[in-house]
Amino acid sequence: MNTVPAAPYGSWPSPIDAALAASHDGRPDHLATVGEEVWWTEPRPAEGGRRALVRRRPDGSTVTVLPAPWNARSRVIEYGGQPWAGAARASGGPLVVFVHFDDQRLYAYAPDSPEEPPRPLTPASGGRLRWVDPQVHLDRGARGEVWCVLEESTGPAPTDVRRVIAAVPLDGSAAGDRAAVRELSDDRHRFVTGPRVSHDGRRAAWIAWDHPRMPWDGTVVMLAEITEEGGLTGVRPLVGDVDESVCQVEWDRDGSLLFVSDLADWWELQRIRPDAVAGAAVPSSRLCPSRGEEFGGPLWKIGLRWFHPLDGGLIAVLHGRGSNRLGILDPETGELADVPGPWTAWADTLAVHGTRVVGVAASPHSGYEVVELDSATGHTRVIGSAHRDAVDPAYYPASRERTFTGPGGEEIHAHIHPPHSPDRTGPAGELPPYVVWAHGGPTGHAPLALDLEIAYFTSRGVGVAEVNYGGSTGYGRRYRERLRGQWGVVDVSDCAAVARALVAEGAADPRRLAVRGGSAGGWTAAASLTGTGLYACGTISYPVLDLEGWATGETHDFESRYLDSLVGPFSEVPERYRERSPMNRTDRLTTPFLLLQGLDDVICPPVQCERFLAAVAGRGVAHAYLAFEGESHGFRRTETLVRALEAELSLYAQTFGFDRSDVPPLELVK
């Protein structure tokens, strides 16, 4: 009888090394169809972290459209959004328009004529002009236009910026002439999405919002008529409000407008029929009976899609509570049929062509891949970025979705990934270490999907608990608003409650708990280390550490008023900003920590880390600081991902007392 040998938790051998985990970082994104083809972007960590644009031809072959160093990625609102659009032409093959990350210019390219390199459509500006959510209109203007969002810097401060809907000529005449760009909207709103043009070409609709609201707080749908000359007139609000979040709009073929609104707590799909004569609109109607599920999500990027109408009147929808699924909705009956298959996490991007629906999906046993549904037959298949097991799947974690109860009786949602290996087990009487992961956002969500970075730890005997703390999306507006005014309190408390529950169950060692997070998750990790006394160490990546600094010019425009809702207006509760900031609580910090930062980060800038380290200096707290040139908010390069992951493992090995001689030792200073 074969028995699995015992070894101390954390010391197990694993075929999942940091390089393998890094090579699978990121996912396909920004789907669309161009004629009969499906196109998308995908990450290339080994190519400097660029986003490549790829196409799937009708014969099933997949090729890269843009060779290195072209990088299809926008920096509008810093998080970007849909960076490309394509159009099928009668001759000459498809035309693609894309934003190149390095200079943020809009380019046009005919991939079937590769001897002609991409040609710029917009002026060189040193990044002062940025573009996102392009839509190609071959029949507008003298030689066609691209309608998109223009973000223009107007001064030295991050908040000196304006955003409008613009039309860029396809003939390249604006490449050296900013005046050749037509502004279709004024800048009455701080933020706008790209316009959706009705099927008859007579109307346009888009989403807008203003400070201090974030798009998940309140947005408004703007409606306009399109003139014969290609301008917009009669611009007016249609639906939405300061306390209603509309996250997507699309035109149906009958002239009605489909949109997703959270007016009734959950993001739900609705229809409204604009009255072009009276300038009014009949009340909207819900297209599916309320199910206590989300049919939308937070608009962190411009151009996200959670639903897409099909030609025959049906609608492809992403929906669910926590985990989401792809379904086909009949708006006439309200019936919803889910797509068969193993996928439990669908990304917020969809494309449709005829009866085909294409999305990006993953499961606890497979990474994100491009999945196609034929809605006429119900048949699904993987058509791109197909998951292939790089190691024996026996090394993947046995993940499970759980709901815990917090101190106030509130639900706390989490994904638990216990230590797991086919060839090692823990010694009798020893409890495993656990790392609590706090996701970014904080208005975000940790999906239940295979992540080799998690498997990197669990296959070595370190458990991971991903916490969708109060404030997370996927569970209705009420759950999101648990964090209103309570950032640094509810998120910290919920993460601690999950850790304590695992200890109480006998699943985790109370002396070997860690916390980690990036961005807003980095804030939660730092706030946890300086506020709970629960964790033995932590990993803090590109974090917010000083609320007062963040609220007074140390971040970008999009999130510059985010703290109004998360903490409270700075002018009204300045003491709350000071009291909660880890920067001002370093006297409570007694445990080792690893601080990771990209030096090009303008969202959570390095200056906050530098001040935090200065406050810690000389206090005898063991720590390490790794700063990476060429990295911004979130790491994308293979070498960075490998170094960060190995450093984190070394921190846990030194703190928890297990041997990891297979990774470079992390030098901790005091």
Neighbours of 573 (CB within 10 A): 15
Give 468's pLDDT tier (boundaries 50, 70, 90): very high
pLDDT for residue 176: 95
**Cβ-contact 597, 542 below 8 angstroms:** yes
Task: Round to whole Å and give the CA distance between 106 and 122.
Answer: 6
pLDDT for residue 282: 55
pLDDT for residue 143: 86
Give 276's pLDDT tier (boundaries 50, 70, 90): very low
529 Cβ contact list (under 8 Å, min separation 6): 515, 535, 538, 540, 582, 589, 591, 593
pLDDT for residue 408: 85
**Residue for token pair 């991050």:** 158
Neighbours of 177 (CB within 10 A): 12
How far the first Cα of the chain sits from its last, in Å, is: 50
Task: Give the global pTM.
Answer: 0.95
Phi, psi of 354 (to 5 degrees): 65, -125
Neighbours of 337 (CB within 10 A): 12
Task: Round to whole Å and give the CA distance between 598 and 49.
Answer: 13
Neighbours of 115 (CB within 10 A): 5
Give me the domains of the chain, ranges plus CATH numbers: 62-184 (no CATH), 393-656 (3.40.50.1820)
Nearest to 480 by CA among 540, 542, 413, 529: 413
**Cβ-contact 598, 519 below 8 angstroms:** no
Give the DSSP H or E segment for 267: strand 266-272
Tens digit of each residue's pLDDT (9 = 90 or more) over 612-622 = 999 999 999 99
**Cβ-contact 493, 580 below 8 angstroms:** no
628 Cβ contact list (under 8 Å, min separation 6): 596, 597, 598, 599, 635, 637, 640, 643, 644
Average pLDDT over residues 7-20: 97
Task: Round to whole Å and give the CA distance between 314 and 375.
Answer: 9
Task: Round to whole Å and give the CA distance between 331 and 320.
Answer: 17
Average pLDDT over residues 427-451: 97
pLDDT for residue 289: 85
pLDDT for residue 280: 54
Strand partners, 286: 270
> Can you count the helices (H) and strands (E) in the chain?
10, 39
pLDDT for residue 146: 98
**Residue for token pair 């000083």:** 546
Task: Round to whole Å and give the CA distance between 641 and 631.
Answer: 10
Tens digit of each residue's pLDDT (9 = 90 or more) over 483-492 = 999 999 999 9
Task: Round to whole Å and give the CA distance between 161 and 262.
Answer: 29
Strand partners, 37: 34
377 Cβ contact list (under 8 Å, min separation 6): none
What is residue 223's three-state secondary structure? strand
Say what percent of the chain tops pLDDT 90. Answer: 93
Average pLDDT over residues 86-101: 93
658 Cβ contact list (under 8 Å, min separation 6): 8, 9, 10, 11, 461, 652
Task: Round to whole Å and give the CA distance between 444 and 215.
Answer: 12
Average pLDDT over residues 195-220: 97
Question: Length of the chain in residues, anyone?
Answer: 670
**Cβ-contact 626, 641 below 8 angstroms:** no
Structure tokens at 158: 């991050």
584 Cβ contact list (under 8 Å, min separation 6): 546, 578
pLDDT for residue 115: 79
Tens digit of each residue's pLDDT (9 = 90 or more) over 497-553 = 999 999 999 999 999 999 999 999 999 999 999 999 999 999 999 999 999 999 999
Phi, psi of 606 (to 5 degrees): -60, -25
Give 1's pLDDT tier (boundaries 50, 70, 90): very low
DSSP 467-531: EE-TT-SSS-HHHHGGGTT-TTTHHHHHHHHHHHHHHHTTSS-TTSEEEEEETHHHHHHHHHHTT
Q: Which amino acid is at 488?
A: G
Q: What is the mean pLDDT of the chain?
A: 95
Strand partners, 99: 106
Tens digit of each residue's pLDDT (9 = 90 or more) over 53-89 = 999 999 999 999 999 999 999 999 999 999 999 999 9
